[in-house]
Chains A and B, each alone.
Chain A
Amino acid sequence: MSAPDTPTTTGAAGGPARTEVPLAVLGAGPAGVAATIAAARAGVEVLLLDAAERPGGQYHRREPRAFVARRPGALHHGFAPWQRTLAELDGLVARGRVRLAPGVSVWAATSVEGGSALATDDPALGTVVARALVIATGAHERVVPFPGWDLPGVITVGGAQALLKGHGVRPGHAVVVAGAGPLLLPVAAALAASGTHLVAVADAGDPRRWLAGGVRGVPLGKIIEGAGHLARIARHGSLVRPRTAAIAARGDGRVEGVVLARVDTDWRAIAGTERTVGADALVTSHGFAPTIDVAIALGCTLTGGVVPHVRVDDDQASDVAGVHAAGEVTGIAGADVGELEGTVAGLAAARHLGAPVAEADIARARARRRRRDRFVATLAGVLEVPAGALTWAAPSTIVCRCEEVTRATVEAAIDERGARDLRSVKLTTRCGMGRCQGRMCAPAVAAILEGATGHAPTDAGELSRRPILTPVPLGRLHP
């Protein structure tokens, strides 16, 4: 329902619509919703844009509205607090402080005089012009390429979670879950609890690496949560194999078998330990990559090496005036930290717009986020993909799925044609020119470049730089 006093102007002679708002928040996951609530409570009118049907992002992904769940909180984490948050959001919508725009995609973004312009695919909204913006676009998954990763039946860990939580569908009848990162165990546990036969569950890393930052770095709640997942998986008949990776998928046109191998601390497969297990689905990913395309379009500076994120200060402000960012897009840190960042971003954006935000309030929000710095650093170490993982891909292994570019082609561009950064690899091989706009291949191409040049690419984010962010019918460009 739109707030009655949100200004919306239709262009002259029935031209494209234009919606001017004080603050637009992009993404209704934990960070975006927190930013929306913080800003609205400070008195700012907020437009909350999201591509999905319901708020929650990936972390709180719900079943479709057409389904009814008797126990909706099952399979979820932090369900009750999130329901309270949504209730507060609904209250702000009812009072006209917040306008929700679900099911909307932004296909172009640019800085304009006094704010940001976002082209949306909603004819009623048209172009959104916001004086201030909070980017909370989250992250997508990173998959290290390996032979057979392009076979039907290979699904990311988050993809399996989306299938299960979003649609109540299991990924296969005999499933291998293998990879790394904080989603691995929760998703394996949820699959097991949903009647999925898990042939094997394998973690490429070592559970002990969580302790590298000192136990104080990891909230006790997370350790207990992890133990719970292990117990749930064990109860359904599986054990999690540490330091084991899926290094190949095999099959005729679909996954029929998965090759598992023990790996060393560098994630290099240990010769002689390879074993093939029968499976019809391989659920795999190796961490996350922030979804930075809108931030790049607006000119925000990125930071971080092989997998860059948006650089922000203690107020979650980017280096573009009026543009803040929060959540995974500013660095992978999980939903709880995302909420803290969202609150800071919302308050800072409100203050930027001249709303009366008490310094004590924003200082308190900043402090709460800073207290998680050690955990975030620990997580960053855990999420690093060691260089040995690059050995899984054979020369014939696809690196850029969209354009079907093999590893051999990428390496020839570097070795024989002088490509030294993402842009030159893209121009000589077509990596990143496909529909996914480099989302899936950027980390692997960057890692290959790092291996060859000794440093992360100097043009981070280059594969994701596009004037049009998502395929859009011509009729939208010129109705």
Chain B
Amino acid sequence: MKPSVDQLEMTLIGPGYGESIVLHVGNGQWVVIDSCIESTTSLPAAITYLESLSVDPAEAVKLIVATHWHDDHVRGMGALVSSCPQAKFCCSSALNRVEFLSMVRRFEKDSTTKVGSGVREINNVFKILTERNELPIFAGRNQLVMRLDVDDTRDERECRIWTLSPSDEQYWKFLFEMASLMPMLKQTKYRCVPQQPNHLSLVSWIEMGEAAILLGADLEETKEAGTGWSVIVASAERPQGRASVLKIPHHGSANAHCDEVWHQMLVNQAHAVLTPWNRGAGLPTNDDIQRILELTRHAYSSARIQLPRARQRNPTVKRQLREMGAKIRSVEPPTGRISLRNGGISDPTTWTVELSPEACHLSQARPAG
């Protein structure tokens, strides 16, 4: 069922080689942040979700934001942009630098491997935009990127969307990273593999009336001057007020946690959501879960962390893998969904939570034991 005209909705979808957030910002207008592929349909998860609500993405989506640039985190972004011709595209201003575009074009040059170049999606997005003669919104710190009227009868009702990062320091760190990734003359071709952390992570703040949502993307608290959450919290230019919903950054990892965010930017017992990370030991860890649950009991995961299983294989192959000690893991567990809707104009800070079968309360996100 679609949200009502004055309801603010945030739906988090993932994991699925990344995550995607779909927001209803009033008056049948939608915003999509990042993209992932629905594990069952192999289509952009945002498109699948909107169509399940009988919403036409081609008309309804007004803004698409990319907080990452690498294929691993924005699968299906090209198809999403292509399917939403009414939507403006927003990304970090660093992605407009000629150096970044050169890096992308170099990796894409005659890339014919099955694993791709690693920058195909962002390359496809920029190609679509130039073909449409459309300019993206290049965003930075404390920038109001969009205002949307949400009620034709009330002039004062509007939705405002801000980006709160990256900082100048993170911008320059990204340029240094790019220099290390840049393909050079006579170098054997390889796939682009970005480094961690994501220096260009775009943190977003969405406010509609009294309700506000903080989307933490993948921003980590690096403890380096001029970077991380501390810079955002301390900024006097950011939108003030407190959010009642948080998309927890970086899968709930300790690296991305900042106490000041919870104490200064969120209401008490804010609703908090995350997508898990199924590589290695998985995120969030038990310690992460405990830390988050001490801050709010309204915490949810879009899927349970599971020991990913590889598909059934030929017995010969299984025997060989066993002898080699090689373990193949699926990196695409079933995609789950968490939807939060507020009570509209009359009750903007009360949220209703709806979980898909794969999603759960955060306390149940990790296997017991």
A binds B: no
B residues near A (Cβ < 8 Å) are none
A residues near B (Cβ < 8 Å) are none
